[in-house]
Amino acid sequence: MSFSRIYDGAEPVRVNKWLAQSGVCSRREADELIAAGAVLIDGERVSDAGRKIEPGQTLVLNDRAELGLGAQVSVIVHKPVGIVSAQPDPGQVPAARLLTAENQVGPGIAPNSRTSFAPLGRLDMDSRGLLLLSEDGVLAKAIIGPESQIDKEYVVTVKGKADRAKIQKLRHGLELDGRQLKPAKVTLDDVQVLRFVLTEGRNRQIRRMCELVELEVVDLVRVRIGTLQLGDLREGKWRHITPEERNALVAASV
């Protein structure tokens, strides 16, 4: 079924701008779809890249456009310790190498070696858990763009005494590299287990935060990015994200 949406804005807006704001595709991709004759407004094919859609009008992307947008692959990997998110040094194994048919869970075709993945929120080599790999520019902007407020959740096992004073410092009051950190949600799950929810992703941030309060991280697992949960996906396995999951992430960033 073709994509169809009624424009409910108060004022006319350029089609490419509205599609980008809605998280359907980027402006450049919208222009390409218009040039390919894949965009219709109230049944009329749009040929002008500057065309505006009026309140109450219905925009439809034909099946050809849907196939093109759907070709942008995004997958969840349960990254093990010892695997790097991307750009490995000699001797290191990148997470994309786990994307084999043998490791796959759920439907879809395993991506080939020509698929150009980027990690949307890196995990360092010593950490494990939810890693999102994607070639979707709109999704990347939603999750790691400069204006993104999508949070990430981690379960962290530490050595040392995780008392109330240390947790308060972790929540607010620390700085790294001379810059104040954004407030973090930090709760004590167990005697040595902390749960962090962050809206930023500085290099090895949680490990360095814990070092500042004399705690040593012995295990770090990312369990959630925004609305996307790691769930019961086993370590080393991967799956395609669903259109509903992708749309929920984009919507959460608007």
Long-range contacts of 30-37 (CB under 8 A, 24+ apart): 33/61, 33/65, 33/68, 36/64, 36/65
What pLDDT does 32 receive? Answer: 81
Q: Which of 124, 136, 163, 232 is catalytic?
A: 124
What pLDDT does 157 receive? Answer: 98
Q: Tell whether the model's pLDDT for residue 23 goes beyond 70.
A: no
What pLDDT does 1 receive? Answer: 42
Q: Tell whether the model's pLDDT for residue 54 goes beyond 90.
A: yes
Cα separation, 63 vs 149, in Å, equals 33
Cα separation, 119 vs 133, in Å, equals 5
How big is the chain, counted in residues? 254
Q: Tens digit of pLDDT for each residue in 113-171?
A: 777 889 999 999 999 999 999 988 888 888 988 888 899 999 999 999 999 999 999 99
* Choice between 39 and 67, residue whose per-residue pLDDT is larger: 39
Q: For this structure, is 126 an active site residue?
A: no
Structure letter (DSSP) for residue 95 = G
What pLDDT does 142 receive? Answer: 87
* Average pLDDT rounded to a whole number, residues 55-74: 74
* Choice between 64 and 176, residue whose per-residue pLDDT is larger: 176
Cβ-count burial 57-66 (b if 16+ within 10 Å, e if not): bebbbbeebe
Q: Tell whether the model's pLDDT for residue 68 goes beyond 60.
A: no
Q: Tell whether the model's pLDDT for residue 80 goes beyond 70.
A: yes
* Average pLDDT rounded to a whole number, residues 70-96: 89
Q: Tens digit of pLDDT for each residue in 86-121?
A: 888 898 999 999 999 899 999 877 887 777 889 999
Using CB atoms within 10 Å of the CB of residue 105, give its burial: 0 to 12 exposed, 13 to 18 middle, 19+ buried: middle
What pLDDT does 129 receive? Answer: 98
